[in-house]
Amino acid sequence: MAKPPPNAGKPWTPAQNAQLGKLAQQNTPTRVIGLKLGRSEGAIYSQAAERGISLKPTNQSPYSRKK
């Protein structure tokens, strides 16, 4: 059985919320954000949605230009 992340089930602190926003702005992958904050990937997605933080990469074109 896999070990749960260290902060699983604990409330989010203001410092963690700030770090989440900063890492999301830097286009950090969601899994890496989870490892840095000690949270699961699902917890990162739900907290970002609750705070209105976009986890989508800003440097990618929304349309594929390959033909």
pLDDT tens digits for range 6-49: 998 999 999 999 999 999 988 888 999 999 999 999 999 999 99
| Range of the structural domain that residue 43 is part of | 14-51
Would residue 6 count as lying in a domain?
no
**Structurally, how many domains does the chain consist of?**
1
In a domain, 3, yes or no: no
**Nearest of 48, 11, 10 to residue 28 by alpha carbon:** 48
63 within some domain? no
In this predicted structure, the answer to whether residue 60 has a pLDDT above a threshold of 70 is: no
pLDDT of residue 2: 80
**Residue 45: inside a domain, yes or no?**
yes
The answer to the question of residue 58 being in a domain is no
- pTM, 2 dp: 0.79
With both helix axes pointing from N to C terminus, report the angle between 14-25 and 30-37 in degrees, rounded to the nearest 10. 150
- 58 pLDDT more than 80: no
